[in-house]
Structure formats: structure tokens, C-alpha cells
Amino acid sequence: MIPNKYLSISPEVQQALSQHKPVVALESTIISHGMPYPQNVETAMRVEQTIRDCGAVPATIAIIGGKLKAGCTPDEIEYLGKRGTAITKASRRDLPVLLARGEDGATTVTTTMIIAHMAGIQVFATGGIGGVHRGAETTMDISADLEELAQTRVMVICAGAKSILDLGLTLEYLETKGVPVIGYGTHELPAFYTRHSGFGVDYRVDSPEELAAIFSAKIEAGLTGGMLVTNPIPEEYSMPADVINAAIDRAIAEANEQGIRGKATTPFLLARVKELTGGDSLDANIQLVLNNARLAARTAAALAQS
């Protein structure tokens, strides 16, 4: 690993990496922008504990005081949760400014992948990735997550693309960029809150060991870019597709009426969908993140043994 004066790896994560123990990266946008306080902090700590229970070390990633943090303390997670949306939602384009100014940033899928790769962490668990937004043929609103998956060698385990997106175009974009999209126990792309989208994925895999073998082959062959594993939300927490789609359609219409664009779009839509579903979407969000954390920990353990 090349020394980087901006990178700060926690002692626990550094020890695990040096001893070739499994480590799982976690994002911080879900803490600062994805959920209200104190549920955001409670969920973050619960996800970390879930990873520990599965035999891996959690590394919550964020930018604090101009440092790229690979592994946050409980106090730092509390800080991120309390400050909430006052903390910049940081994508790749924001990093130089935040580092130079010594500011804070909540990491998206993109920036979590960047920092995880810098630190030597290969597996990252999140909720859902960004993608091609509905209407992107005129707005060009395409998440930087897709570009990062094309260039940064990290395995991202998620519950599919957020169902506020154009899922068909998101899959087309990933195919063009050469990103393997793998369904865990399914041939269908999960749609975040619900298990079903009607869109197929490239491959189905049924064990963490096979996920680890595929990612190892990618590395050993010298292939660039990441790998996307789509892990459906557990059946008992999956929301009916018609209910969630109706809420999403209404939220998108309201966002258009209010002129909401760019990085403000996803937080607005997720918050509005939560209101329209009576909080059911927040409960589903928490459960799918925990489910992804379990799979990520088991996959990281299999990678560590390979």
C-alpha cells in the first residue's frame, strides 16, 4: 500500500489487515443522510456488531477533519449521526476540497470504495447502490457509483439498485462498463425494498465461498474494476412492489415539482418514501443492511482463507 498522508486506518482495522483477517467496509452516508438520529447511530452500531458476530472486523468509513478514516470509533459514529445532513455528502469530486480544507464528509458508495481500496479492504457492505435516474436521457443524472464500480477493485454487496432509479438502464450501464453483476441466491435483480424487479442479472451464486473465488480470480487475472453482488432483502421484510412503486412515483413527481436535482434527489426521495409508507421503508432499509453485512462478513472470511 502506498503511504498516504490523508489516510487514517484505525488500530483495530490495521491489525486485522496486517494479520490477513476479514474486514468489511461500511459507508457513512447512511448514517448522516440516510436515517434520522438516533436510529442512524443505533443502526450503524448494530451493523458493526453483526459483522463482529460473523467473525469479521467492521470498518466504518468517513472523512473527519480532512482525514480519510478507515474505521471509525463509536464516538465518531455518534458525531456523524448527530451532525446529520450538516455533513457534506462526499463523492469523488468532493474529496480534494474536503481534504485541503480539513472538513468532514459522509462517504457514498463511491468514496467508501475509494478509501477501502486505499486501505486494502476488499469487501464493502451497503444498502443499495446509486445508478441511472429515471429521465436520465434528458437530465444525464447518473450516479458516480457506477463509474467507481468500473474502476475500483472492491466487491460491493448490496440489496440491488435503489428502486427510485431506472433499473434497466442501470444494468445496461454496468454491462457497458464491464462490471459483473451477481445475484446471491437469485437470477433477478433485487430492487432494494423489494426482492423483485423483473430484470435479470448476469450470474447466480449460492455461497460466500464462490463469491470469494470469483473475486480472487478477478484479482489474480489482473482485471480492473469492482464486482457487484445483489443480495435480496429477506422475504419477511420485503415490501410489495406495487406499494413501494406507488410511493416512489409520487415522491419523484413531488421532487420534479419542487425542482430538486443532483445530490439532493436521493435523500429527498428516500425521506418522502418513508413518509408515504408510514415508516415501513425505514424498517426494510435497516433489515436489508443487516442482511448485507452478514453476507459481506462471511465472504470476507472466505477471502481471507483463500
In tens, the pLDDT along 136-148 reads: 777 788 899 999 9
**β-strands 57-64, 67-70 pairing:** antiparallel
Q: How would you class 220 by CB atoms within 10 Å of its CB: exposed for 0-12, middle for 13-18, buried for 19 or more?
A: exposed
User: Among 183, 138, 192, which Cα is nearest to 165's?
Assistant: 192
Give CA 192 to chain center in angstroms. 11
pLDDT at position 141 is 84
pLDDT at position 3 is 60
Give average pLDDT by consecutive 10-residue segment, the chain, 306 residues.
83 98 97 91 97 98 98 98 96 97 98 98 96 81 94 97 86 97 97 90 97 97 97 92 84 88 76 78 88 98 94
According to DSSP, the residues that pair with 25 across neighbouring strands are 59, 124
What single string gives the DSSP state of each residue in 97-109? HHHHHT--EEE-H
pLDDT at position 137 is 77
- What's the CATH architecture for 132-306? 3-Layer(aba) Sandwich (3.40)
Buried-exposed string 149-171: b where 16+ CB fall within 10 A, e elsewhere: bbebbbbbbbbbbbbbbbbebbb
- Grid cell 472538513 — which residue? 103
Cβ atoms 149, 92 nearer than 8 A? no
Question: How many CA atoms within 13 Å lie on the side-chain side of 59?
Answer: 36
CATH superfamily of the domain spanning 1-121: Indigoidine synthase domain (3.40.1790.10)
- Do 1-121 and 132-306 have matching folds? yes
Preceding amide of 74 cis, omega within 30: no
In tens, the pLDDT along 61-70 reads: 999 999 999 9
* Nearest-angstrom CA–CA distance, 128 and 25: 14
In tens, the pLDDT along 225-240 reads: 999 999 999 999 998 8
User: Among 231, 189, 225, which Cα is nearest to 207's?
Assistant: 231
pLDDT at position 135 is 79
- Grid cell 447511530 — which residue? 41
pLDDT at position 239 is 84
In tens, the pLDDT along 194-220 reads: 898 889 998 999 999 999 999 999 999
The residues that are catalytic are 27, 162
Domain range summary for the chain, segments of one domain joined by +: 1-121, 132-306
* Nearest-angstrom CA–CA distance, 41 and 62: 14
For residue 281, the SS3 value is helix
According to DSSP, the residues that pair with 64 across neighbouring strands are 67
